[in-house]
Homo-oligomer: A and B are copies of this chain.
Amino acid sequence: MADTRWLDEGEQRTWRTFLAAVHLLEGSLDRQLRRDSGLPHAYYQALAMLSEAPGGALTMTELAGLLRSSPSRLSHAAARLEEDGLIHRFKRLGDRRTTIAELTPRGLKVLREAAPGHVREVRRVLFDSLTREQVDQLREISEVMLGELDPEGREPRCPGSGGAGDRD
């Protein structure tokens, strides 16, 4: 094991600032969504993905892929969302192993009501203070990271349009 190449001055500053920013950003988003809609950010994202899928429905596996969530995490989330009546789960005839998650009218309503405040928050903590150039830079940097972390590369976006517009 060769001796470690530590982070240099610039890298370390970047790394720590980045970690701090991300930590606060997630807290901020989560707090806002919980307060205004009762949903944690991750659950909101699930509803958002469903809303963009054709028919407002996806299999658990598809949804997990889009959210880059473990099956387990999604299962727990879906259980809660279903209990709250925001989605419902069912099986397709002829396939007893796949589960479909579908946005309920109530789920769509909650999503629609939460969306504006959420987008405002996203703008406030991120886009409002970044230049157009920085937004592009951040996308490229994120794509590089994602390439390293998720080589399979699930689709970054959702094709459909059965949903409710771009909810974040």
- On A, residues with C-beta under 8 Å from B are 1, 3-7, 10-26, 28, 45, 68, 115-116, 119-120, 122-130, 134-150, 156-157, 165-166, 168
Contact = CB atoms under 8 A, between A and B. Distances in A.
Contacts of A20: 68, 142, 146, 150, 156
A10 B146 contact: no
Given A126-B145, A129-B145, A156-B13, A6 B139 contact: no
A133 to B, nearest CB: 9
A115 B124 CA distance: 35
Chain A interface, DSSP helix/strand/loop, else mixed: helix
A139 B14 contact: yes
B134 A17 contact: no
B144 A129 contact: yes
B139 A4 contact: no
B119 A149 contact: no
A75 B144 CA distance: 36
Contacts of A4: 115-116, 119-120
Contacts of A45: 19
